[in-house]
Structure 1
Amino acid sequence: MPTVEQTIAERVEARSDRIVETLSALVSFPSIVKSNPAEAGPGERDCQLYLQKRLNALGFATDLWDPDGPALYAKYQGRPGANKGRTFEGRPNLGGTLKGSGGGRSIMLTGHIDVVPPGAAEHWTTDPFEPVLKDGFLHGRGTVDMKGGVACMLMAVEILKELDIPLSGDIVFTTVVDEEIGGMGSLAMVDRGFRADAGIMTEPTANRIAPLCHGILWGRIIIDGIGGHAELTPNAWYTSGPVDAVQLCRQMLDGIDILNRRWMFDPKKNHPLMDLPNQVIVTQMNAGEHPSSMAGRAEIIIDAQYLPSERDELGLGGKVKREIEEHVFNICQADPYLRNHPARVEWILDADCAEVPADNPFIAVFQQAVGKANLSPVLSGFGAHSDIGLPTGLGNTPTVNFGPGDPAQAHQPNERVSVRDLVNCTKAIAIAIEYWCR
């Protein structure tokens, strides 16, 4: 007689087409998030309505609501997830609860359905929002980040229901918007009261359990030079204009490289579960006003990481902000112009981080389930930011990352996930629910 785990695994294999069909439906909704929330189209809402219909059919009591961005910001200002200017009209969150028979431990399955813009169409070999199955991979925007994970968590529940496997604990299912622009959707979800005894956030981890993620700082380094004619000889020692802001940018970039070399060997910037040390990554640059004029102003946009051990008293990256500001100041001291006209740092975003200790009871249960799905139970770190800090910290729901797909595919053109990854992920989540909530 097959074991419960074998029965679940066999049913998941038999339902692989349904998993692909579910993910294809999710990808077909262009649920793009923008820095200006007013520019969002109907894709987020349409995707949530599709998921709500699927949850209702499984017996979930569902809640679909447009969060109140300004009210949330007023309530949580200065705390993780509270981002000024975010609005949610027509951009709902979705939550649902499937009650168990009672007395068991509850689990929350959570993810985001917003995706980043696909970028230039010529960089894609397929339409980003018309999913294509080819050579064992499903192609399309969001297949990895992270509608693949959402499809797996939905199908895991659906298969447990098909098999009529009894559960004592509740299953909580939440999908949020706005994750790709700072995490206020997850803040709204936790504020709404959704929580459980443990949680799985199905961000792409190549089906590895990742109980740790980075915090992320976005900052703008502003450098003011003095514009002037590009072909004329500038005055020596910056006694008057022009002063080339592009040249000053080069000095700032060299200084950032020095900081990264220092962090490479700093124990505070490294974690045994992370592949790389914390870094300050330059992601955007903007300089200059005219082809024949020296740039009078330049901006360098940075993405900097921090670890849970570096959090400040609010659970954010204030200590690391001050560290970077001090380094920028010291870079300026080496230049006679910048010494008197120092660059300044404006902070754009601070997205929190979290770590669930390896001795948390859910970790051992999940490792056992992952092993039964013939996956590696070895713990790893999630190098990017994810929203696990909000349910873990504010919601008292220790939440780990675990999802299908190579995380390096996230945000890339021609994003794709293997069907095998989807099937294996669905197995692991379904078995974990049965173990934890039985």
Structure 2
Amino acid sequence: MTSATDRILAAVDRLFEDEVQFLEELVRFRSLRNEEAAAQDFLARELEKRGFTVNRFRTDVSRIGEHPAFSPATVAYDESWNVVACKTAAGGGRSLAFNSHVDVVPAGSPQRWSTPPFEPNRRGDWLYGRGAGDMKAGLVASIFAIDAIAEAGLTLCGDIQVQSVVEEEITGNGAATAFALGFTADAVLSPEPTDEQLVRANAGVIKFRLETKGRPAHPREPDSGQSAIDLMIRLIGRLRELECRWIAERENKPLFRNIANPVALTIGTISGGDWIASIPSDCVADGRIGFYPGDDPKDRIAEFEAFVKHVQAEDPTFASEPLVTLTWVGVTHAGYELAEGTMAEAGLKTAHAITHSGDALPTYVMACYLDAAVFSVHGNIPSLVYGPIAENIHGIDERVSLPSLRRVTKTLALFAADWCCVKED
């Protein structure tokens, strides 16, 4: 009799063309921030067809400031839905939640893409499209991993969840809401694009908005004005000093010691001025900076605020009057380290070895925010981040490797079957 493992692997292969077509359909949804509803409707329908009980809920703004998993938000969530699909088992196995995010970042300049970013395009072993790698491929892999177990004639003995949340790319409040509502499990696996490696640790992140106030004037009298854009450029330059200080702390952080820039001060957007021939009166810049697991975000926020105040007090360019405003506009969340030796990690190692010809599961550090941190930091739940090979995420011509997607789907299916246990239908 064919083993359960062989049956599951064969089932993934049989379903793989359907899986890629499903991913193509999902990539077509332009699921930018606050535009995720159509994609979530599609996923809810597909999961209901598969016998899941589907829960739809908005991100809970009332928790912001009250629950440590929540971060400041700058938009309303009236039309922004999270989806958690659940199947309850009667077999008494361990429970598992696959956590993914459906929101994607903007595509940038579409004309710079080789094909339109929201029209998926298969070329050779790659599928191109915004969100194909980050992280719709992982989301689809989790669904088809469960499909493959059923296709193999097996039933999971433990409860299973497929979570499709919003806001991962900015606040983490979608995952925070799911956690606060009790959508947890004995283990969480988030199939982010990790090049088939396990994330051993991730950075904490705080996201901010800086506003500078200049004195508008006509260019014929430049000395009577002060450029808000010049002020912002100077302030960002000074913030590089803080970045260097935080980078230096990596020497005391073994997992981060070999990362060139584990905090990565990034100014993601900047705008200023309202006329080509006027000294600009206002400039706004949004950005993020990381920090290390174990650090309290509140302490890092206080340090950042103190540094900005110090610059204003010490630098004569800013000394005449309050010229800088600082607010917090996105994720303010701690990082985490995945403890070694958990049963969940052992199960993933075994599954990975089967799908990779006996190779050991590699690990690495991801110096950015991950929704898995919500479940790890606030729930002390083993939270594994492991997913397919992808390139150019957040960039031009984002793409995901289809052979990698196949391997990851097999790994997730074998892991779920081992973790939850299975029985014959």
CA shift, 1:154, in A, is 0.5
Mapped to 1, the partners of 2:286 and 2:166 lie a distance apart of 24
Structure 1 length-normalised TM: 0.86
AA at the equivalent of 1:388: A
Mapped to 1, the partners of 2:419 and 2:405 lie a distance apart of 21
Q: Is the 8 A contact 1:107 1:169 kept in 2?
A: yes
User: Which stretch shifts more, 277-286 or 155-164?
Assistant: 277-286
- Which of 171, 178, 191 pairs up with 2:167? 178
User: Which stretch shifts more, 24-33 or 270-279?
Assistant: 270-279
Mapped to 2, the partners of 1:49 and 1:301 lie a distance apart of 31
- Which of 297, 300, 320 pairs up with 2:300? 320
Mapped to 1, the partners of 2:262 and 2:381 lie a distance apart of 27
AA at the equivalent of 1:422: L
Q: Is the 8 A contact 1:200 1:400 kept in 2?
A: yes
Which residue number in structure 1 is paired with residue 255 of structure 2? 272
CA shift, 1:203, in A, is 1.6
CA shift, 1:358, in A, is 1.8
Which residue number in structure 1 is paired with residue 84 of structure 2? 95
Report Cα offsets for 1:288-346 as digits up to 9, x if no partner.
Answer: 343333333333322111222112xxxxx111112222222333344324134353422
Q: Is the 8 A contact 1:70 1:85 kept in 2?
A: no
Which residue number in structure 2 is paired with residue 347 of structure 1? 328
Which residue number in structure 2 is paired with residue 29 of structure 1? 29
Q: Is the 8 A contact 2:222 2:279 kept in 1?
A: no
CA shift, 1:151, in A, is 0.7
- Which of 140, 144, 147 pairs up with 1:155? 144
Q: Is residue 263 of structure 2 the alignment partner of residue 257 of structure 1?
A: no
Mapped to 1, the partners of 2:367 and 2:59 lie a distance apart of 30
Mapped to 2, the partners of 1:32 and 1:254 lie a distance apart of 31
Mapped to 2, the partners of 1:319 and 1:221 lie a distance apart of 19
**Alignment RMSD, CA only?**
2.6
Mapped to 2, the partners of 1:269 and 1:15 lie a distance apart of 47
Mapped to 2, the partners of 1:120 and 1:269 lie a distance apart of 40
Q: Is the 8 A contact 1:223 1:297 kept in 2?
A: yes
Could you tell me which runs of 5 or more consecutive residues in structure 2 were left unpaired when the two chains were aligned.
none
Instruction: Flag the 1:329–1:376 CA change in 2: closer, same or farther, 3 A.
Output: farther
CA shift, 1:143, in A, is 0.5
Q: Is residue 351 of structure 2 the alignment partner of residue 369 of structure 1?
A: yes
Mapped to 1, the partners of 2:17 and 2:101 lie a distance apart of 23
CA shift, 1:349, in A, is 1.9
CA shift, 1:160, in A, is 0.5
| 1:165-244 alignment, distance < 5 Å | 165-232=154-221, 234=223, 241-244=224-227
Which residue number in structure 1 is paired with residue 399 of structure 2? 416
Instruction: Flag the 1:268–1:279 CA change in 2: closer, same or farther, 3 A.
Output: farther
Which residue number in structure 1 is paired with residue 19 of structure 2? 19
- Which of 379, 399, 414 pairs up with 2:363? 379
Which residue number in structure 2 is paired with residue 314 of structure 1? none
Mapped to 2, the partners of 1:329 and 1:262 lie a distance apart of 17
Mapped to 2, the partners of 1:259 and 1:83 lie a distance apart of 23
Mapped to 2, the partners of 1:104 and 1:173 lie a distance apart of 17
- Which of 31, 41, 49 pairs up with 2:41? 49
Give percent identity, aligned residues only. 25
| 1:53-92 alignment, distance < 5 Å | 53-60=45-52, 62-67=53-58, 69-73=60-64, 77=66, 79-84=68-73, 86-92=75-81
User: Which stretch shifts more, 50-59 or 125-134?
Assistant: 50-59
Mapped to 1, the partners of 2:213 and 2:40 lie a distance apart of 45
AA at the equivalent of 1:29: F
Match of 1:308, SS?
coil
Instruction: Flag the 1:138–1:376 CA change in 2: closer, same or farther, 3 A.
Output: farther
Instruction: Flag the 1:69–1:195 CA change in 2: closer, same or farther, 3 A.
Output: closer
AA at the equivalent of 1:30: R
Which residue number in structure 1 is paired with residue 318 of structure 2? 338
CA shift, 1:414, in A, is 1.9
Match of 1:417, SS?
strand
Task: Provide the aligned length of Structure 1 versus Structure 2.
Answer: 415
Report Cα offsets for 1:139-185 as digits up to 9, x if no partner.
Answer: 11210111100110001000011112343222122212233331222
AA at the equivalent of 1:301: D
Q: Is the 8 A contact 1:382 1:401 kept in 2?
A: no
AA at the equivalent of 1:381: V
CA shift, 1:428, in A, is 1.0
Q: Is the 8 A contact 1:66 1:88 kept in 2?
A: no
- Which of 105, 118, 124 pairs up with 2:107? 118
Report Cα offsets for 1:222-258 as digits up to 9, x if no partner.
Answer: 3333232334462xxxxxx423334333432321222
CA shift, 1:82, in A, is 4.5
Which residue number in structure 2 is paired with residue 360 of structure 1? 342
AA at the equivalent of 2:226: V
Match of 2:131, SS?
coil
Mapped to 2, the partners of 1:283 and 1:126 lie a distance apart of 24
Which residue number in structure 2 is paired with residue 434 of structure 1? 417
Mapped to 2, the partners of 1:368 and 1:429 lie a distance apart of 11
Q: Is residue 318 of structure 2 the alignment partner of residue 329 of structure 1?
A: no
Q: Is residue 286 of structure 2 the alignment partner of residue 305 of structure 1?
A: no
Instruction: Flag the 1:391–1:11 CA change in 2: closer, same or farther, 3 A.
Output: same
Mapped to 2, the partners of 1:224 and 1:55 lie a distance apart of 50
Mapped to 2, the partners of 1:181 and 1:191 lie a distance apart of 18
Match of 1:390, SS?
helix
AA at the equivalent of 2:10: E
Runs of 4+ in 1 over 6 A off after TM superposition: none
Report Cα offsets for 1:371-394 as digits up to 9, x if no partner.
Answer: 222165122222221211223344
- Which of 122, 134, 142 pairs up with 1:133? 122
